[in-house]
Amino acid sequence: MRGLRIVLVLLVLLLGWLQYRLWFGTGGAAEVSRLEAQVAQQAHQNEGLRARNAALAAEVADLKSPTGEAAVEERARSELGMIRPGEVFYRVVETPAAAPLPEAPDEGARSSP
């Protein structure tokens, strides 16, 4: 009977030690949860980068296509401000709304020395 108790205590201690390692040790549940969140975040970033790459690939294909001359011209006009010979360039500049002037300090409020 005494030997059975010793084995039972040893098994309970072993179970406790294994449970501790499962929940708090290296590779435990907390670390797995943290790594899963990190993987989900990375997958989200990768999806955004895939969409960006697809848009850039479509733009490159458009520029390389035989009808891509219009796209090249559009980019030269919008990004570089280029115009064709003989064209007249007009720039419309909107004036910002006048900001109210700060009020001058009240002269009567100052004390004289």
Number of domains in the chain: 1
Number of neighbouring beta carbons within 10 Å of residue 76? 13
pLDDT value of position 29 = 78
Parent domain of 80: 2-84
In a domain, 32, yes or no: yes
Report the Cα 9 to chain-centroid distance in Å. 53
The pTM score is: 0.46
111 is a domain residue: no
- pLDDT, one tens digit per residue, over 46-105 is 999 999 999 999 988 888 887 778 878 888 888 888 888 888 888 888 888 776 777 766
Dihedral sign for Cα 46, 52, 58, 61, please.
negative
In a domain, 9, yes or no: yes
